[in-house]
């Protein structure tokens, strides 16, 4: 079987100047296979190129965010620890969370709040936390940043943005903040590959008839 192409009534730009014979040659399925194969290869190359471009731009984005965080931290560290803690207080952070993120005890944090000096490293950690909140609020319009950080990513998996911060994994937090399509499971896979088995449980929380919360096996009704 053959397919006959043309001639066309009105020559296209590509056809202008070609002989009548060239326009009317018969093409075979073999020709089509070759052409579509070529097209497929070109498409694959384009996909690979665009994937690479996406990865490169994502890496560049992460690097610029890290640089932005460093710069913002450098600005914030000029403020006293007391003032930085006041910012976090106004955002609604729990002191026990701030203490954990700063790597100190709650009593040590209490002393900072009343004016006692922190070490340089601790001061920088608190400044970095405030700078991170600045970026998330300004770049991604997440105004309730403390709430955003302390709500678990998924129901019944006790991992929150605060856990990412404690490590710290700013890259995951920025991805979570910037990408509306991001799947929380992907973030958890990156953060803690064993999270599915670690947090699987045969028990669940329920509200008892007296209003108190209790535990029971999942198949109990």
Q: Which residues of this chain interact with other proteins, rule CB under 8 A?
A: 86, 89-96, 105-107, 110, 144, 146-147, 150-152, 158, 160, 197-205, 212-215
Q: Provide the token pair at 39.
A: 């097209």
Nearer to other proteins, 65 or 118 (CB): 118
Instruction: Specify the residue for token string 């709650």.
Output: 106
Q: Provide the token pair at 136.
A: 């998330």
3 state DSSP class of 44: helix
Query: Least distance in Å: CB of 147 to other proteins?
Result: 4
Query: Least distance in Å: CB of 94 to other proteins?
Result: 6
Q: Provide the token pair at 126.
A: 């608190």
The answer to whether residues 129 and 163 touch, using CB atoms and an 8 Å cutoff, is: no
Query: Least distance in Å: CB of 212 to other proteins?
Result: 5
The answer to whether residues 66 and 170 touch, using CB atoms and an 8 Å cutoff, is: yes
Q: Provide the token pair at 20.
A: 């009548």
Query: Least distance in Å: CB of 49 to other proteins?
Result: 42
Query: Least distance in Å: CB of 146 to other proteins?
Result: 4
The answer to whether residues 184 and 195 touch, using CB atoms and an 8 Å cutoff, is: no
Nearer to other proteins, 11 or 158 (CB): 158
What DSSP state is assigned to residue 94?
-
Q: How far apart are the first and last CA of the chain?
A: 69
Nearer to other proteins, 191 or 199 (CB): 199
Nearer to other proteins, 25 or 110 (CB): 110
Nearer to other proteins, 18 or 154 (CB): 154
């Amino acid at each position: 079987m053959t397919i006959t192409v043309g001639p066309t009534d009105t020559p296209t730009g590509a056809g202008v100047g070609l002989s009548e014979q060239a326009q009317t040659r018969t093409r075979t399925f073999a020709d089509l296979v070759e052409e579509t194969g070529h097209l497929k290869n070109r498409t694959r190359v384009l996909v690979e190129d665009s994937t690479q471009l996406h990865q490169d731009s994502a890496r560049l984005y992460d690097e610029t965010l890290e640089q932005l965080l460093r710069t913002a931290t450098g600005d914030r560290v000029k403020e006293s620890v007391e003032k930085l803690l006041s910012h976090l207080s106004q955002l609604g952070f729990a002191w026990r969370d701030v203490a954990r993120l700063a790597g100190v005890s709650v009593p040590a944090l209490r002393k900072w709040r009343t004016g006692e000096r922190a070490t340089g490293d601790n001061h920088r950690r608190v400044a970095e936390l405030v700078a991170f909140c600045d970026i998330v609020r300004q770049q991604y319009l997440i105004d309730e940043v403390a709430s955003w950080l302390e709500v678990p990513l998924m129901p019944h998996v006790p991992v929150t943005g605060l856990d990412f911060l404690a490590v710290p994994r700013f890259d995951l937090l920025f991805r979570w903040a910037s990408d509306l399509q991001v799947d929380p499971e992907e973030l958890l896979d990156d953060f803690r590959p064993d999270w599915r088995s670690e947090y699987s449980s045969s028990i669940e929380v329920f509200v008892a008839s007296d209003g108190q919360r209790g535990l029971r096996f999942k198949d109990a009704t």
